[in-house]
């Protein structure tokens, strides 16, 4: 798989990464440990060298990654995140310097590594100046415990202020054909400052695969149950976006998911999406997107059709929406 550079600090990653949250958090019951390890190692065999986890996904998530990647640790980039009280996203943000340090030590232990390649602030903590956060990461970089600094779901002003203290290597935020708000301010700012972009939920939390419709039911612990965009009515209304992807996929001998990922890769050379999956066949399908080339006329066709589509439903319930874009 082709590599891409994020930021100006020489961080090179596979064009597509693997988001590991869903292996044990957020989307129903955890995947069997042996199956999860097999999936992560298969991703590496298929050319993925960029793996994403977080303290907030539970210690088991980082431990899983640490064990799965141990045989080829030096060949891969591991990204993890700090920023919630006691590592629990439901308890709100906590990016105090002592907390960042405590998370770093735990992550190093769980990931079985001596350095965190990319350490993101998971959500902006409005109680702690971002300059203080950036300074703490800068110290951890000087101490050799962290290589690169990242932000997640941060607003433009926060990005600029953080970058002025410690260069930001990457921003991780949601971006896909059905969530394009980053194009307004975020992407131009990242381009100006030389910061890479790591889109999470590049397949719209599964919707853009074409395998979810208004009749789909989710496990009771699945996060999508509380997402307005996943209400049955919204799913029915948003099917038109999947229809568009299906149309292009047929023309390109690909799948809707592959078109959605190829579209993201075509937007900027410094974008590296991190689709997640628990299934080996989906992993293979996703990695295949790196070989799908969309021509300028393909992209124009998608752009023209997408401009006619009004996506229904908010991407977060109100209480979670308050945590993004700060």
CATH number at residue 305: 3.20.20.100
Lowest mean pLDDT, pick from 132-141, 152-161, 216-225: 216-225
Pick left, alpha or beta for residue 184 (phi over 0 → left; psi -120 to 50 → alpha; otherwise beta). alpha
Q: How far is CA 248 from CA 1, 167, 208, in A?
A: 23, 39, 13
DSSP 9: T
Task: Specify if 326 maps to a domain.
Answer: no
pLDDT for 88-136, tens place per residue?
999 999 999 999 999 999 999 999 999 999 999 999 999 999 999 999 9
Task: Specify if 18 maps to a domain.
Answer: yes
Nearest Cα neighbor of 81 from 72, 64, 94 is 94
Q: How many CA atoms lie within 13 A of 141 on its CB side?
A: 20
Length in residues, the chain: 326
Please state the domain count of the chain. Answer: 1
Mean pLDDT of all residues in the chain? 92
d(CA 52, CA 43): 12
Which pLDDT belongs to residue 283?
96
Domain housing 69: 3-321
Task: Specify if 220 maps to a domain.
Answer: yes
pLDDT tier at 139, thresholds 50, 70, 90: very high
Cβ–Cβ < 8 Å for 324, 123: yes
The catalytic residue among 44, 57, 110, 175 is 57
SS3 of residue 164 by DSSP: helix
d(CA 317, CA 255): 30
Angle at 196 between CA 292 and CA 309, to 5 degrees: 55
Task: Specify if 90 maps to a domain.
Answer: yes
Which pLDDT belongs to residue 208?
83
The torsion of the CA quartet 42, 281, 2, 298, rounded to 10 degrees, works out to: -170
Residue 304 above 90 pLDDT?
Answer: no
- Which residues is 149 bridged to in the sheet? 119, 168
pTM to 2 decimal places: 0.93
pLDDT for 11-40, tens place per residue?
999 999 999 998 987 767 788 999 999 999
- Which residues is 199 bridged to in the sheet? 173
Task: Specify if 179 maps to a domain.
Answer: yes
Lowest mean pLDDT, pick from 155-159, 218-222, 240-244: 218-222
Where does the chain have alpha helices with state H? 33-45, 59-69, 97-110, 130-142, 156-165, 186-193, 232-252, 256-267, 280-288, 296-306, 318-321
SS3 of residue 86 by DSSP: helix
d(CA 268, CA 264): 8
Task: Specify if 30 maps to a domain.
Answer: yes
Query: Is residue 57 annotated as part of the catalytic site, yes or no?
Result: yes
Where does 54-200 have alpha helices with state H? 59-69, 97-110, 130-142, 156-165, 186-193
Task: Specify if 206 maps to a domain.
Answer: yes
Neighbours of 144 (CB within 10 A): 9
């Amino acid at each position: 798989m082709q590599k891409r550079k994020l930021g100006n600090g020489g961080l090179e990653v596979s064009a597509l990464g693997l988001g590991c949250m869903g292996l044990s958090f957020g989307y129903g019951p955890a995947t069997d440990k042996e199956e999860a390890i097999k999936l992560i190692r298969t991703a590496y065999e298929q050319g993925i060298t960029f793996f994403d986890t977080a303290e907030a996904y539970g210690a088991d998530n980082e431990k899983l990654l640490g064990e799965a990647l141990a045989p080829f640790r030096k060949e891969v980039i591991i990204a993890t995140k700090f920023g919630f009280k006691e590592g629990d996203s439901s308890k709100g943000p906590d990016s105090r310097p002592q907390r960042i340090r405590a998370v770093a030590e735990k992550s190093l232990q769980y990931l079985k590594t001596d350095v965190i390649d990319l350490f993101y602030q998971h959500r902006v903590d409005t109680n702690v100046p971002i300059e203080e956060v950036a300074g703490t990461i800068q110290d951890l970089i000087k101490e050799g415990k962290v290589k690169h600094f990242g932000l997640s779901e941060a607003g433009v002003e926060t990005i600029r202020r953080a970058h002025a203290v410690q260069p930001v290597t990457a921003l991780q935020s949601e971006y896909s054909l059905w969530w394009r708000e980053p194009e307004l301010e975020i992407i131009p700012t990242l381009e100006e400052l030389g910061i890479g972009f790591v889109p999470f939920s590049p397949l719209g939390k599964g919707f853009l695969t074409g395998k979810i419709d208004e009749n789909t039911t989710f496990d009771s612990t699945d996060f999508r149950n509380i997402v307005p965009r996943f209400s049955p009515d919204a799913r029915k209304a948003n099917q038109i976006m999947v229809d568009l992807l299906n149309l292009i996929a047929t023309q390109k001998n690909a799948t809707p998911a592959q078109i959605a990922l190829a579209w993201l890769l075509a937007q900027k050379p410094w974008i590296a999406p991190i689709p997640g999956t628990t299934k080996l066949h989906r992993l293979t399908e996703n990695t295949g997107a790196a070989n799908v080339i969309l021509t300028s006329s393909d992209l124009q066709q998608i752009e023209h059709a997408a401009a006619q589509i009004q996506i229904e439903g908010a991407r977060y319930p109100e209480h979670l929406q308050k945590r993004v874009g700060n």
